[in-house]
Structure 1
Amino acid sequence: MSTLVQKYNIAGPRYTSYPTVPYWDLESFSGKAWRQTIIQSFKESNTTEGISLYIHLPFCEQMCTFCGCHKRITKCHDKEGPYINAVLKEWRLYCDLFSYRPRIKELHLGGGTPTFFSPENLRMLIDGIFNSAEKAEGSEFSFEGHPKNTTKDHLKTLFDLGFRRVSFGVQDYNEMVQKAINRIQPFENVKRVTEYARDIGYTSVGHDIIFGLPFQTLTHVEQTILKTKELMPDRLAFYSYAHVPWLKDNGQRGYLDADLPSGDEKRDQYEMGKRTLAKVGYKEIGMDHFALPSDNLFNSMESSTLHRNFMGYTASKTQLTPGLGVSSISDSWYAFVQNVKGLEEYYHLIENNIIPIYRGHILTEADQIIRQHILNLMCRFETTWYTQEEYFPELMDVLERLGEMESDRLVEISNNVLKVTAKGRPFIRNICMAFDVLLHKKAPDTRLFSLTI
């Protein structure tokens, strides 16, 4: 495994979308074309699937130096009301494109720190969304909670509004690691909010754990997982730390590259963590995710309905996913767009009744086919090309690129079927890269992605 890590530990995307953001065709994109895809997708899917909605709440009271998300650091809570008002106006701009009231199947609050906002303001936000929408049958609402500031009132308020899933960012319980990433997170805080959520009635409580953090050792990761075992969250995200300090406004500068575990050490952390989670009772779900057999994410994997979008893994597919708030990414199935990242610019565009996008990509027919192959690999660890709808001109080039991975027994290819082996699962990003036609047509001139291992 050490030799394979050295061989395949290269920079690569995480494939929350295809094409990936750096390869969006900005020249042929237009806001008019984006709105047309929204209208088309809504007509095709609202009555059958419903739609998903992602809302980005960017405020945090302090900078966590491992975080690569878009955020605004402030302790000024009077920013909550104006931001919610702007998000609700953005939602109304989208609703103006719909021919009737949308049915929301999935709703996720991400950040930043959603629990920066008071329970009262979160209620105002969700009530405002459903002034113009209905809840779809079997809807699933979720949010990201910070164990430090999530209160029982937060959990109760959101539960009363229909939320049944919450995830808490743990990262690592070792004090030295926590100091390095500027996120002091006592186990007692996580225990308290986890028990609050279960007492209130949440059906899925998740924890996020990260390996590959500065000063983190194999023992630290093992101890964190064993502490997690005491609480047995329904889901676990077990992520590789993505070190991208060159990105603008990124806080990943509080330590040196030399303070990070090597590629081999990170792989050891992952393999040990995966073995430990299996012993505890968790099942591996797609890339970086684990769930108890009682959780619906596991059931969706078993029934082949698992889906992946900008919100991560979801238990069912929705075709249309508008993203609200600064930096949010939206997916109409036929196009992607990203909102402006500056708060002041976002407010200005909303005030002028303009959907606040600044870049996007209209998917070609080939893009849609390749995206489906990557989704198949990410969600089911296999893909096929039996039909013309699954074929694209560069497929033979892809299979040639996969030849060495086949020799290394990371994949098995026969009879128009590609299956990722158990040995190959840690290298799923590399396998998906073989399908990334745009990446191979033009390698990036600068550092864009984190290392795959």
Structure 2
Amino acid sequence: MSDTSSLIQKYNIPAPRYTSYPTVPLWENNLENFQWHDLVSKAFQDFGKEEGISIYIHLPFCESLCTYCGCNKRITKNNAVKDPYIQALLAEWAQYKEIFNGSPKIAGIHLGGGTPTFFEPSYLKYLIETILEDAEINPNAEFSFEGHPNNTTYEHLKTLNDLGFNRVSYGIQDFDVQVQTAIHRIQPFEKVKYATDSARILGYTSINYDLIFGLPHQTLQTMEATFRKVQELRPERIAFYSYAHLPSAFPSQKSFESFLPTATEKTELYEFGRALLVEMGYEEVGMDHFALPNDALTLAKNDGVLHRNFMGYTTLPSKILIGLGASSINDIYYAYAQNEKSIGKYEALVNQNIFAIQKGHVLTELDISTRQVILDLICKKQAVIPLEISEKLSENQIDSLKEMEKDGLITTTKNQILVSEIGMKVIRNVCSQLDLRLGNNEAKKSLFSKTI
């Protein structure tokens, strides 16, 4: 094992993914409906009018279960679920429009899932057209959606493109048949090629593939075969994720538990896959994300304006992300809120004109400062650590930072931390040493997946 692999193994411990700070399990759940209304209004006045708002729409339905999946979803082939859910989404959007008191400016829309292409193009057209009624669209707005290659049709792509969508993400995971069979996600290369070629013909400017390492039956040989097929299609972006094995939360993962790679093998898969991506001409934008040199994400990284939110890395400047749908998460700078995960409860609440919030968190001034430090580390590979944070670090966190510096993961100069190339591979663990809410809470740490 190389020295780098040994270091990765050393720091391959559970840590948050830091799509937010505080991370979701550490939220204080202290949000009432009236509070949320007032906080959204304040955020919109402070940021939304000028920057615009981003919208995440969760479409949770899938026709079959992918056994590796950790998303909130409902498996069904029942078409009767579609119309009530679309109407609930629009009822929730009406709640927010009332707060905005006028024509909101839209900076971006993302359709996530589940499987958004579970819905026919006519449903998606009606949904987006209604949301965009009386709304202003930013000139540089980014509209994107997640598509399943098996059911993303040319009509889906054209309908959404006509509505302004220019980015699409396909969940590939792996092209090996044995791996696909184990995770119950069979999608032939020809299907992926058709979905990719169709998007390009229609003028989509950015195509992303999700790829996962650490899946059952994966080997260096199968990974190389997958990546050579990816190279043939050459998407602009690639998200190269670590498989998160949490069978206590997602029982379907137990079905292939005995076929998972060992920790050492998983590290080798990561190192090998990352090297292949670089060889193929992709640049590492940040944690899990790679893009071609001329892609907007790479350019944003180079210009120091890259951002990260619940959807991952983004170029959108908006500080407000409104989440619509069951389990969707809102980020309005001053607070977070997550909707009810139960589709039935979500629909019932929004149809009564009640915000369907299950849990939330109002950020303190210290939270806001800490969030900025973690965002800077993840997006810019460096951060200035304010005194109010450094003086609250635990003894264990301080010792861990010193050890990380000794191991070459970081460099500290006075109140600044610089992250090395090796350090970026375990950046989640670097960030956790600045996480004042996680600290030494071993019980909370057990809620998260390992870095690799």
SS state at 2:254 partner:
coil
Corresponding position of 1:329: 329
Aligned to 1:251: 252
Q: CA deviation at 1:198?
A: 0.3
**Alpha-carbon distance, 1:100 to partner:** 2.4
* 1:170–1:208 CA contact under 8 A, matched in 2: yes
2:270 matched to which residue of 1?
Answer: 270
Question: What SS does structure 2 have at the residue aligned with 1:377?
Answer: helix
Give, in angstroms, the shift of residue 222 of structure 1: 1.4
TM-aligned CA deviation for residue 446 of structure 1: 8.2
Superposition misfits of 4+ residues, deviation over 3 angstroms: 390-393, 395-400
Aligned to 1:18: 21
**Aligned-pair distance for 1:10?**
1.3
1:98 maps to which residue? 100
SS of 1:435's partner is: coil
Which of 2, 7, 11 does residue 8 from structure 1 map onto?
11
CA separation of 1:401 and 1:136: change in aligned 2, threshold 3 A: same
Aligned residues: 448
Q: In structure 2, what is the equivalent of residue 433 of structure 1?
A: 432
Cα distance, 1:383 vs structure 2: 0.8
Match of residue 394, structure 1, among 386, 392, 395:
392
In the alignment, the residues of structure 2 paired with residue 163 and residue 203 of structure 1 have an alpha-carbon distance, to the nearest angstrom, of: 9
Report Cα offsets for 1:20-56 as digits up to 9, x if no partner.
Answer: 1111112x43232222211111011123211110000
Taking the aligned partners of 2:126 and 2:102, their CA distance within structure 1 comes to 23
Q: How does 1:25-424 map to 2 (within 5 A)?
A: 25-26=28-29, 28-247=30-249, 251-256=252-257, 258-385=258-385, 391=389, 393-395=391-393, 398-424=397-423
Cα contact 2:394–2:440 (8 A) shared by 1: no
SS of 2:172's partner is: strand
Name the amino acid aligned to 1:264.
Answer: T
The DSSP-based 3-state class of the residue aligned with 2:142 is: strand
Q: Decide whether the 8 Å contact of 2:71 with 2:114 is kept in 1.
A: yes
**What do the CA deviations read for 1:146-200 (whole angstroms, capped 9, x no partner)?**
0000000000000000000001111001111000000001111111110000000
- Displacement of 1:79: 1.6
1:5 Cα shift? 3.2
* Change in 2 beyond 3 A, CA 1:29/1:392: farther
Distance in 2, matches of 1:47 and 1:336, equals 19
**Counterpart-to-counterpart distance in 2, 1:30 and 1:443:** 29
Q: Distance in 2 between matches of 1:444 and 1:289?
A: 29
**TM-score (structure 2 length as normaliser):** 0.96
Per-residue deviation, 1:399: 4.2
Sort the Cα spacing of 1:37 and 1:393 in 2 relative to 1 into closer, same or farther, 3 A.
farther
User: Aligned-pair distance for 1:318?
Assistant: 1.2
In structure 2, list runs of 5 or more residues that go unmatched: none
Question: Which secondary structure state, in structure 2, belongs to the residue aligned with residue 179 of structure 1?
Answer: helix
Question: 2: CA distance between counterparts of 1:61 and 1:209?
Answer: 21
Contact kept? 2:67, 2:183, Cα under 8 Å: yes
Question: Is the 1:95–1:132 contact (alpha carbons within 8 Å) kept by the matching residues of 2?
Answer: no
Distance 1:171 1:260 in 2: 15
Q: CA deviation at 1:220?
A: 1.4
For 1:40 and 1:84, locate their aligned partners in 2 and report how far apart those are by CA, in whole Å. Answer: 28
Deviations, residues 68-122 of structure 1 (Å, cap 9, x unaligned): 0000000112321111111001000111111322111011000000000000000
Q: CA deviation at 1:447?
A: 3.7
Structure 1 unaligned spans of 5+? none
Shift of 1:445: 5.9
- In structure 2, how many angstroms separate the alpha carbons of the residues matched to 1:118 and 1:283? 35
SS at match of 1:10: coil
Q: Relative to structure 2, which stretch is displaced further, 297-306 or 395-404? A: 395-404
- Counterpart code for 2:412: I
- TM-score (normalizing by structure 1): 0.96
Q: What SS does the corresponding residue of 2:208 show, helix, strand or coil?
A: strand
C-alpha contact (below 8 Å) 1:5/1:264 kept by paired residues:
no
SS at match of 1:216: coil
Q: Percent identity?
A: 49
Q: CA deviation at 1:132?
A: 4.1
3-state SS of paired residue (2:111)? strand
- Structure 1: distance between partners of 2:341 and 2:278: 40
* Deviation of the 1:64 alpha carbon: 0.2
Contact 1:57 1:112 in 2 (8 A): yes
